[in-house]
């Protein structure tokens, strides 16, 4: 039995299935923190697979070459600075009043009749540097006011905004999910940005514009007066003196994206070893590009607009607190994937999929959907799925664009069917005054539309790259 479990195809596949089931049981049934559940599942699978203890945890004298430290350190060394810097950039943009400037400018440009489109674009643009829930907290009051002025259902204005925030959070750096997946699959963030935009924008248009317009006319939810009162009070309390210009806000958001893309294309078009190649490579490194953006934001949106050193220090500390748990989950996911790779499960899965004729990109999407529906967190779904899939693609000789599209498939699956086990479901319900039934009819369906369209784009592009 033990020999079959550790060396035979059926046994290794069974071991993989048991590990995933154990992981879900710990998270869903016993409410174990995801990073602890990933750590426990990885250790138990490694022991069941017969991996030597020295390979798994090292020795008292040296642990640096172990799966435990290598799995954690290998991924965290790549992504910790990117996620931390991205979080700081979003926090400074939000505190400076950049969100209000962006949304106000779009609403004036598009007018009252196209206010839902303006809200959707605001979510799409502001969603690049800002986490999903922070985007809701900041922009929800503007949705209340726009819906009241338009005299229509709040659903018509909220869903486009949510669609923009959601697709950026799922598909685009510097958000934790795509950054972690890129690190685990060793794909450059420039390709993630290119393929992320190629998948996110069509998904946003179909879900955030077409579907949201359709459902917004069928579910009428007026803006509660207490929300309007709270929004007006918040606008009064949070009014930013001398707010930044729209061009400055857009420029700071665009700087890291442009630099990273320049580094990606520079590595393809320029001669290796040339001075220009070195310049593009240096400034296109994600950590360098984001550092430049953060420094510019700190000076142009912070100090020059009256923020004190103490205020910026407090803002930095507050914004970075949630990052710790995210990094622990990602690190544990890296360890879990390293264990699966060391057991040989990846090669067995790759062979089985090849025999079945099932594309890896479809498998990745299905696994990610299952993880998302089962436990609710998009980031956990991405990290866990990538850990499972990484050993499968290790020997398949995928190009960088193909790996980026695989990440997009996993990201698409991670946002499907948000329901009652997802914190985002309750944030949407609370902030926009929707009942559970109305949230299921609007937000849950919207997330599913975004997921399916995103996957269709990734799968379609995978046929031509």
State the first-to-last Cα distance of the chain, in angstroms, to the nearest integer.
44
Q: How many CA atoms lie within 13 A of 250 on its CB side?
A: 12
Burial (CB count within 10 angstroms: exposed 0-12, middle 13-18, buried 19+), residue 305 = middle
Enter the tokens of residue 302: 């912070």
Nearby residues of 39 by Cβ (< 8 Å), 6 or more positions away = 332, 335, 336
Q: How many Å apart are CA 319 and CA 84, to the nearest integer?
A: 9
Distances in Å between the alpha carbon of 116 and those of 127, 171, 448? 16, 22, 20
DSSP annotation of 275 reads H
Burial (CB count within 10 angstroms: exposed 0-12, middle 13-18, buried 19+), residue 36 = middle
Q: How many Å apart are CA 226 and CA 222, to the nearest integer?
A: 12
Enter the tokens of residue 90: 């979003």
CB atoms within 10 A of CB 196: 28
Enter the tokens of residue 398: 């995928």
Give yes or no for a contact between 243 and 100, defined as CB atoms under 8 angstroms apart: yes
Residue 138: closest CA among 79, 185, 107, 93:
93
Query: pLDDT per position in the chain (465 positions), as tens?
Result: 778 878 787 888 888 888 888 988 998 889 899 999 999 999 998 999 899 998 998 876 666 678 998 888 888 888 999 999 999 999 999 888 888 899 889 999 998 889 999 999 999 999 999 999 989 988 988 899 889 889 899 999 999 999 999 999 999 999 999 999 999 999 999 999 999 999 999 999 999 999 999 999 999 999 877 777 766 665 554 455 677 899 999 999 999 999 999 999 999 999 998 999 999 999 999 999 999 999 999 999 999 888 899 999 999 998 898 898 899 999 999 999 888 888 887 778 777 766 777 789 999 999 999 999 988 889 999 999 998 899 888 878 899 999 999 999 999 999 999 999 899 999 999 889 999 999 999 999 999 999 999 999 999 999 998
Residue 307: closest CA among 101, 94, 133:
94
Give yes or no for a contact between 196 and 172, defined as CB atoms under 8 angstroms apart: yes
Q: How many Å apart are CA 50 and CA 73, to the nearest integer?
A: 23
Angle at CA 404, nearest 5°, toward 339 and 131?
Answer: 85
CA max distance for the chain: 72
Taking the whole predicted model, whether its pTM rises above 0.75 is answered as: yes
């Amino acid at each position: 039995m033990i020999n079959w479990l550790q060396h035979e195809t059926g046994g290794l596949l069974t071991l993989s299935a048991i590990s995933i089931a154990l992981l879900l049981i710990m998270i869903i049934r016993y409410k174990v923190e995801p990073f602890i559940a990933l750590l426990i599942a990885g250790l138990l699978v490694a022991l069941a697979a017969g991996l030597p203890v020295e390979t798994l945890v090292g020795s008292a004298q040296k642990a640096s070459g172990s799966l435990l430290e290598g799995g954690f350190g290998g991924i965290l060394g790549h992504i910790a600075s990117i996620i931390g810097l991205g979080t700081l950039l979003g926090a400074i943009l939000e505190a400076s009043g950049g969100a209000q400037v962006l949304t106000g400018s779009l609403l004036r440009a598009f007018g009252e009749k196209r206010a839902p489109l303006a809200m959707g674009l605001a979510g799409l643009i502001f969603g690049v540097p800002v986490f999903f829930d922070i985007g809701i907290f900041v922009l929800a009051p503007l949705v209340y006011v726009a819906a009241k002025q338009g005299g229509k259902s709040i659903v018509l204005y909220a869903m486009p905004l949510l669609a923009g925030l959601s697709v950026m959070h799922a598909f685009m750096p510097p958000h934790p999910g795509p950054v972690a997946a890129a690190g685990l699959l060793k794909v450059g963030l420039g390709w993630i940005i290119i393929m992320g935009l190629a998948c996110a924008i069509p998904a946003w248009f179909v879900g955030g514009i077409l579907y949201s317009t359709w459902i917004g006319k069928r579910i009428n939810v007026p803006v509660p007066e207490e929300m309007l009162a709270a929004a007006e009070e918040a606008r009064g309390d949070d009014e930013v003196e001398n707010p930044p210009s729209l061009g400055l806000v857009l420029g700071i958001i665009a700087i890291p994206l442009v630099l990273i893309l320049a580094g990606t294309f520079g590595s393809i078009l320029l001669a290796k070893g040339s001075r220009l190649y070195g310049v593009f490579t240096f400034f296109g490194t994600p950590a360098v590009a984001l550092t430049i953006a953060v420094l510019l934001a700190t000076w142009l949106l912070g100090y020059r607009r009256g923020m004190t050193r103490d205020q910026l220090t407090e803002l930095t500390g507050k914004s970075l607190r949630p990052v710790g748990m995210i990094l622990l989950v990602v690190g544990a996911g890296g360890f879990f994937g390293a264990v699966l790779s060391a057991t040989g499960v990846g090669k067995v899965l790759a062979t089985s999929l090849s025999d079945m004729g099932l594309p890896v990109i479809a498998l990745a999407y299905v696994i990610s959907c299952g993880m998302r529906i089962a436990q609710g967190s998009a980031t956990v779904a991405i990290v866990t799925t990538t850990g499972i899939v990484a050993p499968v693609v290790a020997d398949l000789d995928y190009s960088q664009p193909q790996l980026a599209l695989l990440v997009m498939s996993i990201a698409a699956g991670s946002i499907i069917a948000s329901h009652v086990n997802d914190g985002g479901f309750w944030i949407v319900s609370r902030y926009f005054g929707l009942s559970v039934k109305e949230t299921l009819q609007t937000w849950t369906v919207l997330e599913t539309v975004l997921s399916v369209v995103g996957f269709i784009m990734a799968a379609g592009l995978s046929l031509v790259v």
